[in-house]
Amino acid sequence: MFEARLLQGSILKKALEGIRELITSGNWECSSAGISMQGMDPSHVALTVLMLQNDLFDQFRCDRNVTLGLNHATFSKILKCAANDDIITLKAEDQPDECNLLFQSANDDKTSDFIIKLTDIDQETLGIPDTEYAATVKVPSVEFQRICRDLSQFGDTIIISVKKGCVEFSGTGEIGSAKIALKESGNVDDDEKVSVEMDKDTPCSLSFASRYLNYFTKATSLSDTVTLQLCPEHPLVVSYDIGDNGSLKYYLAPKIEED
Amino acid sequence: MFEARLLQGSILKKALEGIRELITSGNWECSSAGISMQGMDPSHVALTVLMLQNDLFDQFRCDRNVTLGLNHATFSKILKCAANDDIITLKAEDQPDECNLLFQSANDDKTSDFIIKLTDIDQETLGIPDTEYAATVKVPSVEFQRICRDLSQFGDTIIISVKKGCVEFSGTGEIGSAKIALKESGNVDDDEKVSVEMDKDTPCSLSFASRYLNYFTKATSLSDTVTLQLCPEHPLVVSYDIGDNGSLKYYLAPKIEED
Amino acid sequence: MFEARLLQGSILKKALEGIRELITSGNWECSSAGISMQGMDPSHVALTVLMLQNDLFDQFRCDRNVTLGLNHATFSKILKCAANDDIITLKAEDQPDECNLLFQSANDDKTSDFIIKLTDIDQETLGIPDTEYAATVKVPSVEFQRICRDLSQFGDTIIISVKKGCVEFSGTGEIGSAKIALKESGNVDDDEKVSVEMDKDTPCSLSFASRYLNYFTKATSLSDTVTLQLCPEHPLVVSYDIGDNGSLKYYLAPKIEED
């Protein structure tokens, strides 16, 4: 028996917005630790990892590990039937072929009960090696979304460069070129501000496919801040924290510059 | 001579929103009692009946009965030229081939004068037999709109079931199934609340084409509350009251279950 | 060296909205007096003239006259990357083949640097003869936009008629006819109000292509008021003032009535 109740049901709605266009269907692995889902996009370029720890839920019970193979288009359609302040409960039997979703309105006048058929998805879970990142940058998630969208007009590559106290995003194309710089703010406690941490103060500059960065920013509503972790020859990590008990992370390999 | 002045011109705009997609053109019958229009959709499945009593208008004069054959696409285009707080006056001669629409802005700085050509529409008025309904349900109109839209994702049929103190809407399709329940509220005076009245406390469950229910909800802005009247083997009635002096009602026969 | 800094960068964004659909590319002529651009639409029907005087800019330097041949689709794409409260600086060398655009956020945390390639545009500047207009009408720009849009539903011609204390816009088509009258307000100092000035009190009525009037109203956000100047057998002038130091003007010849 698996049952997990999320008071802030909107978290699940927002998380699915960040997933459904990249991963058509995925195995949602439920264990006593929480729920996790990972998957590659159809072109096997970007890895998406969602983690919802048991503490995120006000009620959480998972007697045995359960795998919920969910079609994300269907899951998203159903979640759109939930109001933003609905309480959402996920339920499944121990060896389920369907999953139950219950939405309760804040005033309890309306209850919606959905049954989704599950799919068998053949997928292995990848281990993600620990990396020492050369640079870790936090920027307001809305600002990152806007920059990725703006630079996509110039070309299909966005270069992210981290320098002391500053992160630069740039792009070049037929119509011209663009360089957008965000300066580190004085007060780094503020969520609305930019912070830049560098290992050994070495500047770091890497190129990424703007198409994927734009996909990642579909998760913008999950968090006020997005964290970018860069390391030469390693995938970029784009992380949206879900409070203190969850995260949605994207991994994207840098483009190799053609000489 | 026919002349009717509506201080709250937005009522006419909203009523037409609830009509124009279902009925391409209709005879607006003007008499000393008020204005009425009825029509079937092109597939002859749903009957729409609009009634605007003379008391709804602050000035109303109708010397002889007049029939205004109006193309609803044209009528709607013209009404979209009225601001929401405009005063709207309808005028026509006794045997008109055109109808006059006058919009006056709240501060009287702007007056708009429109002439619509009338059409001959061959249409007989249907009598609607009195029915004793097994169940009468009032729900917030916005909630009904949302439920019809949400359940349409699951299939082309929505089942409405009335039980003691509760109305349930459900649907089933390839992607899964859904059941949405609205509970009767304690305080039934409140327009935002749900009320359920049943004849003889017999539960009643009927199936309807979701496509038509969605058409009906185009009238949502006319009223905070929508009333559903159900009776086995009789058409469902979906009513939006226009204050105390008018209504827009839709009649839709239940689907016959295939065994 | 040319450099012009505009504290209210949104002015440039709004001006381009009023230009880009009518003129695909244009020569922006920079001199010590300011920046001007004029061009005909591809069908050579309407003339558009933008004038930004040096006083509009808080910093303005133009050592030698410079012509910036700009593709307006590209220019508009880049300006959409500016926030509404950004400071915008335009820069170019004396004989430039590219132009520099710098956007600075209000709090200076974000700077965006764009380079646009310039185009050679073969275009001569037209002189606009002085005309004594028979009528000058000021109306709220939003009202003018709405009227042009509403009347376009009736046909491709809008007749503008100026009478004592009143301006009328009318149109006729297959679905019927429409006449919208705006009355002069008592207090003509108010920007939200209508004022009508006539030379010799002779009424004046001219026909124009609604398609072009609708293009002109893309500049609506530039100014609360739009000024219409009419004279029989002369082009209509539709002017949007940019504060006291600039304007966007459109010239459109009246339609010749077919007898």
User: How do residues B89-137 score in pLDDT, each as one tens digit?
Assistant: 999 999 999 999 999 998 889 999 999 999 999 887 788 888 899 999 9
d(CA C197, CA C134): 8
Q: Which CATH class is domain A135-252?
A: alpha beta
What mean pLDDT comes out for the span C103-125?
91
Burial (CB < 10 A; 0-12, 13-18, 19+), residue B201, is: exposed
A81 close to A103: Cβ distance less than 8 angstroms? yes
- Are A81 and B153 an interchain contact pair (Cβ–Cβ within 8 Å)? yes
Is pLDDT of B171 > 60?
yes
Of all residues in chain C, the one with the smallest CA distance to B117 is: C176
Is pLDDT of C126 > 90?
no
d(CA C166, CA C203): 10
User: How do residues C148-168 score in pLDDT, each as one tens digit?
Assistant: 999 999 899 999 999 999 999
pLDDT of residue A107: 85
pLDDT band for B162, please (50, 70, 90 cuts): very high
Nearest Cβ partner for A182 among C71, C109, C114: C109
Determine which of B183, B185, B194, B195 to mutate to test the interface with A (most A C-beta atoms within 10 Å): B183
pLDDT of residue C259: 45
Burial (CB < 10 A; 0-12, 13-18, 19+), residue C149, is: middle
- Are C150 and B74 an interchain contact pair (Cβ–Cβ within 8 Å)? no
pLDDT band for A128, please (50, 70, 90 cuts): confident
d(CA B147, CA B213): 10
DSSP A173-217: ETTEEEEEEEEPPS-TTSTTS-EEEESTT--EEEEEEHHHHHHHG
d(CA A18, CA B135): 44
pLDDT of residue B185: 79
Please provide the average confidence, as pLDDT, over all residues in chain C: 93
Determine which of B175, B179, B187, B190 to mutate to test the interface with A (most A C-beta atoms within 10 Å): B175
What mean pLDDT comes out for the span A196-219?
94
Residue B7 makes CB contacts below 8 A (sequence gap 6+) with: B58, B87
What mean pLDDT comes out for the span C104-115?
93
Q: pTM for this one?
A: 0.92
User: How do residues B14-70 score in pLDDT, each as one tens digit?
Assistant: 999 999 999 999 999 999 999 999 999 999 999 999 999 999 999 999 999 999 999
What mean pLDDT comes out for the span A194-205?
89
Q: CA separation (Å) from C29 to A249, B37, C22, C216, C252?
A: 49, 62, 18, 22, 23
Neighbours of B, requiring at least 3 CB pairs below 8 Å, are: A, C
Exposure letters B7-26 (e unless 16+ CB within 10 A, then b): bbbbbbbbbbbbbbebbebb
Nearest Cβ partner for C177 among B77, B80, B115: B115
What is the third-level CATH fold of C2-117? Proliferating Cell Nuclear Antigen (3.70.10)
User: How do residues C24-39 score in pLDDT, each as one tens digit?
Assistant: 999 999 999 999 999 9
pLDDT of residue A192: 64
Is pLDDT of C193 > 60?
yes
A231 close to A131: Cβ distance less than 8 angstroms? yes
In the 3-class helix/strand/coil scheme, how is A35-59 assigned residue by residue?
A: EEEEEECCCCCEEEEEEEEHHHCCE
Q: Is the Cβ of B112 closer than 8 Å to some Cβ of chain C?
A: yes
- Shortest CA gap B144–chain A (Å): 12
What mean pLDDT comes out for the span C123-141?
88
Which secondary-structure segment (H or E) carries C73?
A: helix C72-79
- Window 80-109 of C, Cβ < 8 Å to A: 80-81, 98, 108-109
pLDDT band for C240, please (50, 70, 90 cuts): very high
- Take residue B100 and report the two structure tokens written for it: 């006059």
Is pLDDT of A177 > 50?
yes
- Shortest CA gap B124–chain C (Å): 25
pLDDT of residue A129: 81
Whether B135-252 and B2-117 are alike in CATH topology: the answer is yes
Q: Indicate the domain borders of chain B.
A: 2-117, 135-252
- Are C111 and A176 an interchain contact pair (Cβ–Cβ within 8 Å)? no
Q: Which of A164, A198, A170 is nearest to A183 (CA)?
A: A164
Is pLDDT of B188 > 60?
no
- Window 130-149 of A, Cβ < 8 Å to C: 143
Q: Strands (DSSP E) along chain B, which ranges?
A: 2-6, 25-31, 34-40, 46-53, 59-62, 66-71, 87-92, 98-104, 110-117, 135-140, 157-163, 166-173, 176-183, 195-198, 204-209, 225-230, 236-241, 246-252
Q: CA separation (Å) from B56 to B81, B244, B245, C210?
A: 22, 8, 5, 37
d(CA B181, CA B162): 10
pLDDT of residue C108: 85
- Are B71 and C175 an interchain contact pair (Cβ–Cβ within 8 Å)? yes
- Take residue B257 and report the two structure tokens written for it: 């279950």
User: How do residues A35-67 score in pLDDT, each as one tens digit?
Assistant: 999 999 999 999 999 999 999 999 999 999 999
